[in-house]
Amino acid sequence: MAREWVAVTDQRTGLGWLTAQLWNERVLVASAVFVGFMMWLAGLHLGWVSFAVLLLVIAGLMRTERRVAGTADRAMAAPVAPVVETGPLSDDLTAISAVLGALDAPALLLSARETVKLQNRAAESIFGAIAQGSDLAGRIRSPGILDMVRDAIGSGQPREIEHAERLPSETVYVVRIAPLAGPTTEPLWLLTFRDVSQARRIERMRSDFVANASHELRTPLASLRGFIETLQGPARNDLKAHERFLGIMHEQATRMSRLVDDLLSLSRLELRSNLTPDQMVDLVPLLGHVRDSLQPLAGDLGVEIVMDLPKHPVAVPGDRDELVEVFENLIENACKYGQEGKRVDVVLSGGADGVPVEFSVTDYGPGIPPEHVPRITERFYRVNVEASRSKKGTGLGLAIAKHILTRHRARLVVKSEVGKGTVFTVKF
């Protein structure tokens, strides 16, 4: 009990330390007197020198006992720290986990046994949560990726393949695996997935564009060449053939001219796509002008254009000529491809009290099958190739309209039902 009190006061105040020292000296003298008295009873007489040596011996024993007791007390009083077993691999995994978490591309850390050590959030969003230590083949079923992983781990060299997913949407990844260099206790491999879907889609669009443009130009050129050879040969002196062939040649030349004009217009729009128009255009008189210009065509097709325009001005930021091109294209298409309905409704709404401006064109023709609706604004895409060519379409009209509306910060919404017609809506 005395030892515990001494240990506590010795740690807190100087007064306690001094009291403890005096107490210890009293215990020392008392112990020496007691030992000397017992030796005197036993018949052993000690001199002053012997008594002093006895005091020194007892003091040394007490000091040793206090040192041992103090060490034990401090060990009992000190708070117990939790023991955490950390090795080089655990530290590396912590650092690697922080790095993988900052990546926006899916990444998996693999062991040489093809088990998953770590995965980042991007990988979890694609493959789901993968338990640490689970086999890679249990989550990724692609034979190409698994073969690449085995080959890379076996050879110790990086490997890379291109992998395409069809569901839920077409996605293309460049999958790469490489050994992870660093002071690790076991070999680790980093498997990454880089999404190149957009780049592949753009490449396919460019190749399709070149192929379609070449095809569109090749057909009228072949016709012109054939008719010219005929006029120079067998029909050299046939005046009736001259008149008929020249009419067809003029039609084909006009078709090529329209195609070239549309290509040039599309190219100009792409160059100016980031330039927002800064002028205000009133759509009410503009649509009146478009209706007047298309009345002859509508009359020839037997279609009535019915317009519902507000009485107040409806102004939007835009380029007047480009907006005329958009509305002419949409209304002209409705007249041509919705000819069976004999009627085209044009409605303009909004523009007052902060209501967004909307323009819609409705035809009552055969409609568009749902599988074609998402693609009708692609270049050269046609729902019916023969019908489009017979109506002198180039396959670029809706692509041009879409680019113009994108520049005007507007969007085109298409709703169609087979047998009931189609509605094109422009939302500013």
One digit per residue, the tens of pLDDT, for the chain of length 428 reads 333 333 333 443 444 444 444 445 555 555 555 555 555 545 555 555 455 555 555 555 555 455 544 544 444 443 333 322 333 345 667 778 888 888 888 999 998 888 988 888 888 888 888 888 888 888 888 899 999 999 999 998 999 999 988 766 678 899 999 998 765 567 888 999 998 888 887 787 777 777 777 777 777 788 888 888 888 888 788 888 888 888 888 888 888 887 888 777 777 777 676 677 878 989 989 999 988 888 888 888 898 999 888 888 888 888 888 898 889 989 988 888 888 888 899 999 887 777 888 999 999 988 888 888 888 888 777 777 666 666 666 778 888 888 888 888 888 989 988 888 899 999 98
Task: Check residue 374 and report its DSSP letter.
Answer: G
Q: How far is residue 76 CA from its own chain's centroid?
A: 57
Q: Which domain holds residue 394?
A: 280-427
Regarding whether 209 and 191 lie in a shared domain, the answer is no
Where a domain ends, among 225, 253, 271? 271
Regarding whether 151 and 111 lie in a shared domain, the answer is yes
pLDDT tens-digit map of 364-419: 988 888 888 888 888 777 777 666 666 666 778 888 888 888 888 888 989 988 88
Regarding whether 67 and 149 lie in a shared domain, the answer is no
Regarding whether 215 and 186 lie in a shared domain, the answer is no
Regarding whether 175 and 147 lie in a shared domain, the answer is yes
Q: In a 3-state reduction of DSSP, which class is residue 281?
A: strand
Six token digits for residue 162:
């291109």
* Structural domain contains residue 238: yes
Angle at 323 between CA 322 and CA 328, to 5 degrees: 100
* Structural domain contains residue 82: no
The number of domains in the chain is: 4
Regarding whether 14 and 126 lie in a shared domain, the answer is no
Six token digits for residue 295:
């009345």
Q: Which residues of 45-72 are buried (b: 16+ CB within 10 A; e: fewer)?
A: eeeeeeeeebbeebbeeeeeebeeeeee
* Structural domain contains residue 83: no
Where a domain ends, among 77, 101, 131? 77
* Structural domain contains residue 70: yes
User: What CATH number is attached to the domain comprising 314?
Assistant: 3.30.565.10
The answer to whether 309 and 284 are in contact (CB under 8 A) is yes
Regarding whether 392 and 297 lie in a shared domain, the answer is yes
Q: In a 3-state reduction of DSSP, which class is residue 224?
A: helix
Regarding whether 262 and 289 lie in a shared domain, the answer is no
Regarding whether 217 and 256 lie in a shared domain, the answer is yes
Regarding whether 389 and 289 lie in a shared domain, the answer is yes
Regarding whether 409 and 347 lie in a shared domain, the answer is yes
Where a domain ends, among 195, 230, 250? 195
Regarding whether 346 and 369 lie in a shared domain, the answer is yes
* Structural domain contains residue 317: yes
* Structural domain contains residue 330: yes
